[in-house]
Structure 1
Amino acid sequence: METRIKQVLHTDSSGDLEVQKKRLKDSCRQFESVMVSYMMKTMRNGVSWGEEHDSAKEMYDDMLSEQVSKEISGSSTLGIGNMLYSKLEQLLKNPLKKTTDSTD
């Protein structure tokens, strides 16, 4: 796993640490948004509505979940993106040591 993380961190040709931090923060927010959207969809599927779902309502519910999840991740309400960022930011500051074992 460390080898994969190292490959991701070193694929950026930009040596600017601030640019890498911004990209990492954006990626962490996007991850949180996708996770919240999936969680909302799963919760919605667990509710018995008593009516048959049509494809238009399902599409509307999916779009609503996506927008709400973007708002939640943008406001740092849950903080999952921030926690992930704080852990991965350390790898930007202190890149993993080069290993000779590339079996990962």
Structure 2
Amino acid sequence: MPINGLISNSYSDYTQNKAESLSKVDTANAEDKKLLEVCQEFESIFVNMMLKTMRESVNDEDSLIPKSAGTEMFESMRDEELAKQMTMGKTNSGFGLADTLYSQMKASKAYR
């Protein structure tokens, strides 16, 4: 089996296990559900900031077509939507930050 197959299999196993663990959240408890949503939104904001910083690191001065205000606004909105899709897709797989935050905040005494 090529290494690429190993990586994709282990990633799909990870996302499936994560989706199952997040789906076990007690949906009857509104506070737990709201906490999970806030953690997922935080992860989305974090990824959006990461994408924005990555985009700023590219030198656009030598670009063939100069960027306009409209282009910058479009890229910003696209990065925001991309961050949401990366973190809160159909399987709630994300990067794992929301899951970790949720587990730690739920266990902390400050949440209770």
Do both share a fold (TM > 0.5)?
A: yes
- Paired residue for 1:29? 40
- Counterpart among 41, 45, 56 of residue 45 in structure 1: 56
Partner of 1:80: 97
User: 4+ runs of 1 displaced by more than 4 Å?
Assistant: none
TM-score by length of structure 1 reads: 0.68
With the length of structure 2 as denominator, give the TM-score of the two structures.
Answer: 0.63
The equivalent residue for 2:106 is 89
2:76 aligned with 1:62: yes
Verify the 8 A CA contact 1:76 1:82 in the aligned structure 2: no
1:88 is displaced (CA, Å) by 0.5
Number of equivalenced pairs? 77
Shift in Å, 1:18:
1.1
Aligned twin of 1:4: none
Whole-Å Cα distance in 1 between the matches of residues 30 and 100 of structure 2?
A: 19
Write the deviation string for residues 12-33 of structure 1: whole angstroms up to 9, x where unpaired: xxxxx81110010000011001
Instruction: Please say which of residues 54-63 and 44-53 is displaced more in the overlay.
Output: 44-53
| CA offsets 1:41-78 (integer angstroms, 9 cap, x no match) | 00000012323321111111011111111011113231
Q: Could you tell me how far apart the structure 2 residues matched to 1:86 and 1:76 are?
A: 15
* Structure 1 spans left out of the alignment, 5+ residues: 1-16, 97-104
Q: Per the alignment, in what secondary structure is the counterpart of residue 53 of structure 2?
A: helix
Percent identical among aligned pairs is: 30
What is the one-letter code of the residue matched to 1:85?
Y
Runs of at least 5 residues in structure 2 that lack an aligned partner in the other structure: 1-27
Higher relative contact order (CA 8 A, sep 6+): 1
